[in-house]
Amino acid sequence: MQYVRTKFGSIQNRFIRLGWLALLVVSCTVAGVASAAPLQAQWSFRLLPGDAQLQAHPGLDTWRPAQVPGSVHTDLQAAGVIGDPYVGAAEAGLQWIGLGDWEYRARFDVDATTLKRRHAELRFDGLDTFAEVSLNGAPLLRADNAHRTWRARVDGRLKATGNELRIVFRSPIRTLLPQVQAMPHKIAGNYPSPYGDEPKDAMVGNFARKPAYHFGWDWGPRYVTAGVWRAVQLSSWDDNRITDLAVRTDTLDEAHAALTVLLQVEQGDAAGSASVAVDVLDPDGKRVQRIERQLMLRPGSNDLQLPVTIEQPRRWWPVGQGAQDRYTVQARVDGGRSDEQQARLRTGLRTVELRRENDAQGGQGFSFVINGVPVFAKGANVIPFEAFPARVTRERLRRDLQAARDANMNMLRNWGGGYYEDDAFFDIADELGLLVWQDFMFGGGMQPGYDPAFRASVVAEARDNVRRLRHHPSIVLWCGNNEEETAWKDWGHGKELTAADPAFAAKVWHGYVDLFGTDLRAVVAEEGLGVPYWSSSPSNDLDAKANDSTRGDKHYWQVWGNPALPVTAYLHETPRFMSEYGLQAWPQQSTIDAFATRQEQQIDGPVIQAHQKFMAGKGNERLLHYIQMEYGTPRSFADFVYLSQVMQAEGIALAALHHRASRPYTMGSLYWQLNDVWPGASWSSVDYYGHWKALHFHARRFFADVAVAALRDEGVTRVSLLNDGRSALQAQLRIRVLDVDGRQLHQQQQAVTLAAQAATEVARLSDAALLQGADPRRSLAVFELQQGDTVIAERIVYFAAAKDQPLAAGQVRSELVAQGDHYLLRLRSPSLARALWIDFGNVDARVEDNAFDLLPGSPRDVVVRSRADLSALRAALRLQTLGDTLHSTLAPPQDVPTPRTR
């Protein structure tokens, strides 16, 4: 996100050497291979004896139970040492944890079968971050990258009983800070700590290969955690084992698929003959191909390529374009006597192209083409799902990814400041047909790409993760970083550095180009099975201009960020692919109640400000700026929350529909952001607990395959009909102009054809033509796309700000009844009810539609699903509209600060 960044005016011409030696380690991730057994151990942890933090926290050098995978913060919470890091304003008091050195201990036994085998290995899927590992008192490995998989051979080093694995995690701040502070000039970081644990002019986050958001972001807390954040695996084998399995698509169309199975087998100390068998199963589980080979394997790694053909292949498509069919590939070596000699993966057959065609205006397109079909990308950016990623469950991932699909999204961008998601994320994306734009894990600032050791570590990290994830058909782009090129070129980073030290500025930029222009591009070309690479977002892939509306992808933050333009400015920005834009809102009341008491819920209260990370807690002033432009000043915190969601939803709908109406010039719209890392104010449409904000309900409408984009700007409404389907559509367009009491002023209707996969503009109507002399404050235009008597898409246009409309309070009438396995909420209103919000408070209930405008004389039924009984639901039901809220905004409240002049 572009709007706020810390810039340093100084930079240093030397960098911290991060190239720690790893003893007996090969960093290699196996994609699709049967899992080794998780290490069965009793884990415990402590603050390292002698650590400086013991003075303020005595007794923490005694061993306490630990959970692996996990983190120091969650283990301290489980032990009762700290409270919930998400409740209240706990963050400031927990920064000492990131300054400590922590030690983890695992005690385990090893079965006789494992001990008898010739080879054994410990695999660490996630060590966060600077870790010193020993086994049975002897050094095993040193790690310096939380994003890598670390492997250590333990042949002959295991015992039947009483094995002890110890891992010391050094504080990343204390490890790196002395060298950063010694730099006469510092490369740009991200968000300085407000807590004093790290100097504001010497940030270490971009020097560490650790999730950047752990150091704080403008939507989440600063918890510089440590620990074994992914599984530890113990594996053993005799002669050989499969270390990698992948499938490369050589040619693919509806009639024929030519594939190559890529199999990597590690052979022991002596060459030997081995039989290899590969089976290919179709999406129904039927075997369609079998390959058998007798091969001579040399000692070490053997790379095998086995051709496969499939007739009439069932291709994998993104949602809305076809089925999400997947094939299973199974490989065995020497009959598969152990797990290590078997491998299995599930993959989809599809082709992907990032099409960048020059146009007559001197620009260049940016579109994803799947199986030869251009796809308009509709979706959102994904941030980490937790401050402590080991707490993320498969169920949590499915909840939020299903929400994306339910809102008619077909693409998600995995943002670069977090971590590479678990395989479960991509399994679910494959199943749901969600395309994934995958950033490498660089969130912003500038990286020390000029340092060879740093670059080597990143290349190893990239190879690990590309190999681990490359069999997922959902991944359609690997992107080098988030906002680093535009920060250098457009935010002043490069200019300031050049003024401070021209030679070092050139060195930093050349290192950037080496890392993101050459190194990562090469890894994707070698390992990515044909998926395209893009060096940064936003970018034109290292062309002169980074954040350009005519070429490449665009991040647009002049709305919400500085200069905080009104939301109608979205209509004046037409990019080739909008990969970031957004407006903030607070989550619903029950989510806020989870971290703040009702007494603490004041716009400028300390707990609320602690959960509002934009502008160091002052983001509520920016929210008020946008709320007041359209809706007036809220009288209460509850109204402030409600209006923030209305503002966010209506503003993003304007932008997304404009992007879609600009097809094919624009071919993507990904708003910031889908999800939350903790409960608080943010740009998300789905909050931390999975509740849909008003924006997500709107997204289901504005991202629908068939939609009406009626966009009013400067007195003219441009009407475009949107059809993402692969067939043309015949329909009727009805335009009605009503007053707020439901009186129809006039109507017109015409037959229309919606071209396939296109935006079809059908009208440009002036206010004078629509209103025909009617009062703009009391009037609205309804654009309805109909097939027969069924309305398949609708868009309402207003001619005045909501705060100037005569919207009445208390107009909505409701009736809640039981109907089969669900409830039905029947709603009607004699006058216009804008932004109707249905809420059941703390009663667990799910409504299938919400956040809509209820037209006078047009009743609507909403399905409600809940395990609560009818009487409890009736008692809990609350309805809120703009009329109810604006009716109570006659004077500004005492506890709402006036926004500062901008």
* Beta carbons within 10 angstroms of residue 182's beta carbon: 11
Torsion of CA 528, 533, 538, 543, to 10 degrees: 160
Largest CA distance in the chain: 92
User: Given CA atoms 609, 612, 613, 615 in this order, what sign does their dihedral have?
Assistant: negative
- What local confidence, expressed as pLDDT, does residue 340 receive? 61
Which residues share a beta bridge with 709? 720
Beta-carbon-side half-sphere exposure of residue 100 (alpha carbons within 13 Å):
28
238-347 fold: Immunoglobulin-like (2.60.40)
Same fold, 706-800 and 813-880: yes
The tokens for 604 are: 């400028």
Distance CA 879, CA 772 (A): 34
- What local confidence, expressed as pLDDT, does residue 544 receive? 87
Distance CA 455, CA 237 (A): 33
C-alpha angle 801-803-807 in degrees, rounded to nearest 5: 105
Q: Are 708 and 794 in contact (CB under 8 A)?
A: yes
Helices (H) and strands (E) in the chain, counts: 18, 46
- What local confidence, expressed as pLDDT, does residue 28 receive? 34
Q: Are 897 and 617 in contact (CB under 8 A)?
A: no
The tokens for 616 are: 């160091």
H/E/C letters for each residue in 741-795? Answer: CCCEEEEEEEEEEECCCEEEEEEEEEHHHHHCCCCHHHEEEEEEEEECCEEEEEE
Domain residue ranges of the chain, discontinuous segments joined by +:
238-347, 706-800, 813-880
813-880 fold: Immunoglobulin-like (2.60.40)
Distance CA 280, CA 306 (A): 12
- What local confidence, expressed as pLDDT, does residue 24 receive? 29
Distance CA 169, CA 102 (A): 5
* Polymer length in residues for the chain: 902
CB neighbour list of residue 525: distance below 8 Å, 6 or more residues apart: 533
Q: Are 663 and 720 in contact (CB under 8 A)?
A: no
pLDDT less than 50: residues of the chain: 1-35, 889-902
Radius of gyration for the alpha carbons in the chain, expressed in angstroms and rounded? 29
Q: Which tens digit of pLDDT belongs to each residue from 233-275?
A: 999 999 899 999 999 999 999 999 999 999 999 998 899 999 9
- What local confidence, expressed as pLDDT, does residue 181 receive? 93
Distance CA 190, CA 206 (A): 8
Q: Which of 835, 499, 409 is nearest to 401 (CA)?
A: 409
Distance CA 152, CA 163 (A): 15
* Beta carbons within 10 angstroms of residue 42's beta carbon: 11
- What local confidence, expressed as pLDDT, does residue 888 receive? 54
- What local confidence, expressed as pLDDT, does residue 339 receive? 55
Conformation bin of residue 630: beta by default, left when phi > 0, alpha when psi is -120 to 50: alpha
Q: Which of 219, 181, 221 is nearest to 201 (CA)?
A: 181
Distance CA 650, CA 559 (A): 13
Backbone φ and ψ of 638, nearest 5°: -60, -40
Q: State the distance between the two ends of the chain, measured CA to CA, in whole angstroms.
A: 20
Q: Are 6 and 496 in contact (CB under 8 A)?
A: no
Distance CA 427, CA 871 (A): 41
Q: Are 7 and 494 in contact (CB under 8 A)?
A: no
Q: Name the H helices within 254-352.
A: none
pTM reported for the whole predicted model:
0.94
Q: In 3-state terms, what secondary structure has residue 600?
A: helix
- What local confidence, expressed as pLDDT, does residue 692 receive? 98
Q: Does domain 706-800 have CATH number 2.60.40.10?
A: yes
Q: Is 300 exposed, middle or buried (0-12, 13-18, 19+ CB in 10 A)?
A: exposed
The tokens for 352 are: 């992907």
Q: Which tens digit of pLDDT belongs to each residue from 652-671?
A: 999 999 999 999 999 999 99
CB neighbour list of residue 306: distance below 8 Å, 6 or more residues apart: 260, 261, 263, 276, 278, 291, 293
SS3 content of the chain, % helix, strand, coil (to 5): 25, 35, 45
Distance CA 274, CA 724 (A): 51
Q: In 3-state terms, what secondary structure has residue 227?
A: strand
Distance CA 35, CA 121 (A): 13
